[in-house]
Structure 1
């Protein structure tokens, strides 16, 4: 195919906000995890496929398959949809007593 560019699992673009390696990056409908540190406007490699352990709201609990949203203001995964971005689904149980949730990034 002459028009094939790349698999698209990792993308490089200008960081919409400052981000540390392992941090969530949201640029429009692109959601992923930064593979390195970047200041706003600097190029950042973003992983868009996979499972990542992310910090979560302390009171939230997740069952396997539950939708996980990202609260950009708090910098935490949450079960609250309102004013947050769908990030993926939980792939392991995360009790309210745990600090993180394992999230499979989704393309939705």
Structure 2
């Protein structure tokens, strides 16, 4: 194939805000969920992973089971099982008790 560029799980992007390694972000207007591969200052090109299972800070209210949808609360930057006002990012990859401060999430591809 002459037009193949890359597998596409890691994308290069420049974000307006600084990010830390492992931080869950939403890329572009399509709000593609991705995880920062490193720590990058605002307006600096960086690498972002768009697939796989990651552990993120989580809201300490609301339980989830494997396969439930996971959302990013843009106000707090944590993963939640609550859909209202939040952006979908994937599915829970492990059970999450209501009081858990972290959650494992499989990103949508």
**TM-score interval (norm. to shorter):** over 0.9
Gaps of 5+ in 2: none
Q: TM-score of the superposition, structure 1-length normalised? A: 0.93
Cα pair 1:16 1:26 within 8 Å, conserved: no
CA offset digits 1:25-75 (Å, max 9, x no partner): 112222110010112211111000100001111112111100000012101
Instruction: Trace 1:1-108 onto structure 2 (pairs within 5 A).
Output: 1-27=1-27, 28-29=29-30, 30-107=32-109
Alignment size in residue pairs: 107
Structure-1 separation of matches of 2:99 and 2:14: 36
- Compute the displacement of 1:79 (Å): 1.3
- Once superposed, what is the RMSD of the aligned Cα atoms? 1.1
Structure-1 separation of matches of 2:101 and 2:11: 28
Q: TM-score of the superposition, structure 2-length normalised? A: 0.92
Structure-2 separation of matches of 1:47 and 1:59: 27
CA offset digits 1:48-107 (Å, max 9, x no partner): 010000111111211110000001210100112122110000011010121111000013
Q: Which runs of 4+ in 1 moved over 6 A?
A: none
Gaps of 5+ in 1: none
